[in-house]
Structure 1
Amino acid sequence: MVTIEQIEIVSLEALNTLYDELMGGRADPLKLENAFRTIREDERYVLLGAFVDGELLGSLMGIVCQDLVGDCRPFMVIENVVVSSRARRQGLGKKLMTAIEAIAHERDCYYIIFVSGEKRKEAHIFYEAMGYREEKVEGYRKHLSSH
């Protein structure tokens, strides 16, 4: 049985395994736990997991950002969308995206935005099937080094 729910601290090891698949490396467990505790205290963050018979096999994070233009409604940024390679094409990604969209509606967000790596063509097909459309914009990122 598949359930979509907030990720709890007991699932951090499984979440780190998913992030290893996504990023090609594991987070330091202590840093992960500290960051997790920080975001759990901030109501703007939503960290959802897709659990199959109790096992975490997918996740995504949504962050609600308050906008200051137009009607000053918030928007949502989605990050770290991942479904285990063992569980793809079983509807987990769709269930996660549908759940985060419902939360964005509840929080009066007027749009959802996310980026996806240029080479992730299979993910792009999935996002388009979910109703997302590519917008021709330039994305920029600057990695900041530690002091």
Structure 2
Amino acid sequence: MNCKIRRAELSDLSSLSELFVELTEHKTNQYSMKEQFEIISNNPNYFVVVAVENEAVVGTAMGILCNDLVGNCNTFLLVENVVVAPSCRGKGIGQMLMRSLEEFGNRNKCNYVILVSNQNRDDAHSFYEKFGYQKQLGFKKRLNTQV
């Protein structure tokens, strides 16, 4: 496998938009995506990575550092938007993406990682458990009905 993990770039947005359809079953607003990407690219608390194989973006994940007020007050890492193209699953790309996020968390002295996965994504849950994540009870409430 000739896969490389690197920070996402503006030129990756079209490919990311296609990957996100796998994740959400909806198209992403390209204009809004570009605006948001420019904002988060300049924020050191955001870490968006892509997996590139044969010059094609085949996976992505985002980590966000969150400040905490409890205990040692170190940050924690929120993981979002983890997706690997269906044709590339089972090749270790998801592990590479998650490892890069965890390294980012370790560099930033995070106490722990939080991620939320849709309750119907059994394959994703198995992946996270194999990678050392434990199921916890969590809740999610959508505040905006637009996707």
Match of 1:111 in 2: 112
**What is the root-mean-square deviation in Å for CA atoms of aligned residues?**
1.1
Cα displacement string for residues 89-112 of structure 1 (whole angstroms, at most 9, x for unaligned residues): 111001000111111000000100
The reply on whether 1:141 has 2:129 as its aligned counterpart is no
Cα displacement string for residues 13-62 of structure 1 (whole angstroms, at most 9, x for unaligned residues): 00000011111111111111011001001110000101112210000110
* TM-score normalised by structure 1 residue count: 0.95
Structure 1 residue 145: deviation in Å?
A: 5.1
Cα displacement string for residues 63-83 of structure 1 (whole angstroms, at most 9, x for unaligned residues): 000101111100000001100
- Unaligned ranges ≥5, structure 1: none
Match of 1:63 in 2: 64
Q: How many residue pairs were aligned?
A: 145
Match of 2:95 in 1: 94
Structure 1 residue 143: deviation in Å?
A: 2.1
Q: Distance in 2 between matches of 1:140 and 1:115?
A: 8
Helix, strand or coil for the counterpart of 1:18? helix
Amino acid at match of 1:142: R
Q: Distance in 1 between matches of 2:31 and 2:118?
A: 28
Residues 11-22 of structure 1: matches in 2 within 5 Å?
Answer: 11-22=12-23
Match of 2:129 in 1: 128
Amino acid at match of 1:69: V
* TM-score normalised by structure 2 residue count: 0.95
CA 1:13 to 1:116, structure 2 compared with 1: closer, same or farther past 3 Å?
same
- Unaligned ranges ≥5, structure 2: none
Q: Distance in 2 between matches of 1:68 and 1:123?
A: 31
Write out the 4+ residue segments of structure 1 that deviate beyond 6 Å after TM superposition: none
Residues 2-81 of structure 1: matches in 2 within 5 Å?
Answer: 2-81=3-82
